[in-house]
Chains A and B, each alone.
Chain A
Amino acid sequence: MLCFSYNISAQKIKAGKIIYQYDVHEIVLDENDKNQNQNMVNQFTKSLKENRDKIKYELVFNEYESNYKIVKSIILENNKILNYAILITGGGEEVYSNLKEDVVLKEIEMFGEKFIIKSNSNKDWILTQETKIIGGYKCYKAILKQPQIQNNVKMPHVEAWYSPAIPISFGPKGYSNLPGLILQLKIGPIVYLATKIAINLKEKINVHKPNKGKVLSEKEFDKMMRGIDKRKS
């Protein structure tokens, strides 16, 4: 159940904290992929579903900045299926957004080294008039414009449901720049849903900005990843 702590209509939001949890929808494969990948799909779905109540993500924000990362204190066990679900849902990443400077910093640790991937915030949204109610709030659907194929792989459809009634432009995983808080983000079969919203209308809070690690552009990081991939395959 979605839990809101304030009536925020027509008031300026100074800071807040949102908790997101995920769910996974059924994956429908193309006919060509069915025989080859159905078992992989079943295991993927099962491992995510088994752990969906254990994993939470936290978005902390002030007027211009946000930080999104996994809630570490809830991870009480170290099982491998759980770690897989954390990896897949982005738990290995901490994402900082600054709307004023139009910058997104994603901190990732790989092979024992920290990297900060620098990019701009998403702006290529298609705003639609499709609506639905989430937690009592009327939300509008926006679809991210992006290439359908990257590195010869079909990219997942990305859609966000935002509420203009909560006038802050942040969301999970660094997705932002919509005219309202993203209450639900769907990336392929994985849906991230706001389950708790605490809005502070008075105080300004500090948002952590990642500052340790080698700074790379998205293009440079992608090139590095493709280099690793080439050596492996």
Chain B
Amino acid sequence: MKKVILSLVFVLATGMSFMNANVINGKEKDLQVQDCHDVYNRTRDFVYGMTGSLHIGITAAIAAEEACLNEEEELTMFID
């Protein structure tokens, strides 16, 4: 089973990832699509809670999830 050190990402609206913004420190974990869903949910709730705008929260979360999924592809390629 492929293992990676997973760093969940908090990403910028346009898709740039801030690596290690949300870190599961030092724990090895299988990288799964569900992790990016978690990034989506956490980003949405955090940004919504900071701005009071659901629209801004969801926009940031969509970008975060997309960047997370891209990150996952890169990690998979790297492991291969």
Asked if B56 contacts A88 (CB within 8 A), the reply is yes
Asked if A39 contacts B10 (CB within 8 A), the reply is yes
Measured between C-beta atoms, what is the minimum distance from A164 to chain B in Å? 26
Interface residues on B, range: 35 or more
Measured between C-beta atoms, what is the minimum distance from A154 to chain B in Å? 6
Asked if A225 contacts B14 (CB within 8 A), the reply is no
Asked if B55 contacts A221 (CB within 8 A), the reply is yes
Measured between C-beta atoms, what is the minimum distance from B74 to chain A in Å? 17
Residues of B contacting A190 in the complex (Cβ-Cβ under 8 angstroms): 50-51
Choose from B18, B42, B56 the contact partner of A90 (Cβ within 8 Å): B56
* Known contacts A84-B13, A87-B59, A87-B60, A225 near B54 by CB under 8 Å: yes
Pull 18 A–B residue pairs with CB atoms less than 8 Å apart, ordered by A. A36-B42, A37-B42, A40-B42, A42-B21, A43-B18, A44-B10, A44-B46, A44-B50, A80-B15, A84-B13, A86-B13, A88-B51, A156-B52, A188-B49, A188-B50, A188-B52, A225-B55, A233-B40
Using CB atoms and an 8 Å cutoff, list the residues of chain A in contact with chain B: 27, 36-37, 39-44, 47, 80-81, 83-84, 86-88, 90, 92, 108, 110, 150-151, 153-156, 158, 187-190, 221-222, 225-226, 228-229, 232-233
* Closest 8 pairs between A and B when the two form their complex, measured CB to CB: A80-B16, A84-B12, A87-B13, A43-B21, A80-B14, A84-B13, A80-B12, A40-B10
